[in-house]
Amino acid sequence: MRFLRGTALATSLFFVMTLVQVPSSQAAPVSPAAVDLDQVEEQVRHLEFQASAAVEAWNESRTKLEKVNRKIANLKIRSQKASSAYKEISKDYATVVRSLYKSGTVDIELQALFSEDPAQFLQQLDAVSYVGSKQFSTLRKLAAASVNVKTANALLKAQQAKAKRLYERSQQHLKRANQKLREAKAVLAKLKAEERRKYLERQRKKQAQQKKDGKKFSEKTNLKNVNRRVAVAVKFALAQLCKRYSRGSSGLSYYDCSGLTKAAYQRAGVYLPHYSRAQIGAARPVSRANLRVGDLVFFFKYGIRHVGLYIGKNKFVHAENSRTGVIISSLSESYYIRHLSGFGRVIG
């Protein structure tokens, strides 16, 4: 029995060892799967587009903030004028009080002077029975001046609060843009040296081809039958090919997407706001079937965060992102098909 137990134990140990041991022919390390550079490029491209979309949201907040700051400047002037007027009328009021003191009615009028609401006090009081028409007019002016000061200060305070909110929002959008660019860099940083070399070489070849195709397209673009002002905008946009992308810029060496379309139409004598969501509001909607040279092309369906200028033959020029700059792209590209929002006509 002891022999049998020993034999069983030995057999069990042998079985376990056979499971653990691996033939040397199968122990060679498995080569890591090759990186799909097409997927890497798509991932980086989408992150860069998310960054440029955040820049457009930043442009929107920044534009609105500029408008509010102009209101604040005007309200400060209004507040200062109202305060100055109140001080001047107060001097006249002091003269009224002195005259009332001499006539023996100062007590009632001092109540008006120190009342929290002089207008309400005067409504409750038959003031004309105590003072003459000139003095009564002064009291009315003082009450109106007091209301003007309070109104101007209240409006100023409200706009200053709005400016603070817009500034904080703009900084959030800017933070998101920078974060997405960092994420794009992180994707590329994971590539091995040879993979990174191949990726960069692909990008250089694409950019060189885009530059070549863009120049050729510009030379062959026929604008004879195009509205004169539209032709001016299209020629200007095409002349900016290969210029760098820079957030908040509208020329002459750097552009973001809405900055390019703004600058192009500004050259044609048309003002467009510097963010794409406002530009689609300034344009007349058109269908794909009725698309004409010079129409604006909008992307990112539920936010309108990218815009380009249609130049015919299913192509458009735009400041794409911080890596590619101003290029010509096709509406047939899968990425643009997925994110297309609509079209708008600025002129005609």
Q: Give the mean model confidence (pLDDT) for residues 84-96.
A: 80
Q: pTM to 2 decimals? A: 0.74
**Is-catalytic flag, 306?**
yes
> Which helix (H) or strand (E) covers residue 242, if one does?
none
pLDDT of residue 23: 47
Q: Given pLDDT bands bounded at 50, 70 and 90, which one contains residue 289?
A: very high
**Is-catalytic flag, 318?**
yes
| pLDDT at 279 exceeding the cut of 90 | yes
pLDDT of residue 210: 78
Q: pLDDT tens across 95-108, in order? A: 665 665 555 554 55
> Which two structure tokens, joined as six digits, stand for 78?
């209004």
Give the Cβ contact number of residue 86 at 10 Å: 19
Q: pLDDT tens across 192-239, in order? A: 999 999 998 988 888 888 778 777 777 777 788 899 999 999 999 999
| pLDDT at 15 exceeding the cut of 80 | no
Mean of all residue pLDDT scores within the chain: 83
Phi/psi of residue 248, each to 5°? 75, 5
**CATH code of domain 225-345:** 3.90.1720.10
Q: Given pLDDT bands bounded at 50, 70 and 90, which one contains residue 19?
A: very low
The share of the chain scoring above pLDDT 70, in percent, equals: 77
Q: Give the active site residue among 173, 242, 274, 306.
A: 306
Domain ranges for the chain, please list them.
Answer: 39-186, 225-345
Q: Given pLDDT bands bounded at 50, 70 and 90, which one contains residue 326?
A: very high
Strand pairing partners for 308? 297
pLDDT of residue 245: 95
| pLDDT at 169 exceeding the cut of 50 | yes
Q: Give the active site residue among 46, 173, 242, 257.
A: 257
> Which two structure tokens, joined as six digits, stand for 166?
């817009």
Q: Give the mean model confidence (pLDDT) for residues 238-267.
A: 94
> Which two structure tokens, joined as six digits, stand for 36?
């799909």
pLDDT of residue 101: 56
> Which helix (H) or strand (E) covers residue 277, if one does?
helix 276-282
Q: Give the mean model confidence (pLDDT) for residues 112-132.
A: 53
| pLDDT at 315 exceeding the cut of 90 | yes
**Is-catalytic flag, 242?**
no
Give 268's DSSP letter.
Answer: T
CA distance 198 to 118: 80
Q: Give the active site residue among 46, 173, 242, 318.
A: 318
Give 300's DSSP letter.
Answer: S
Instruction: Determine whether domain 39-186 maps to CATH 3.30.750.
Output: no
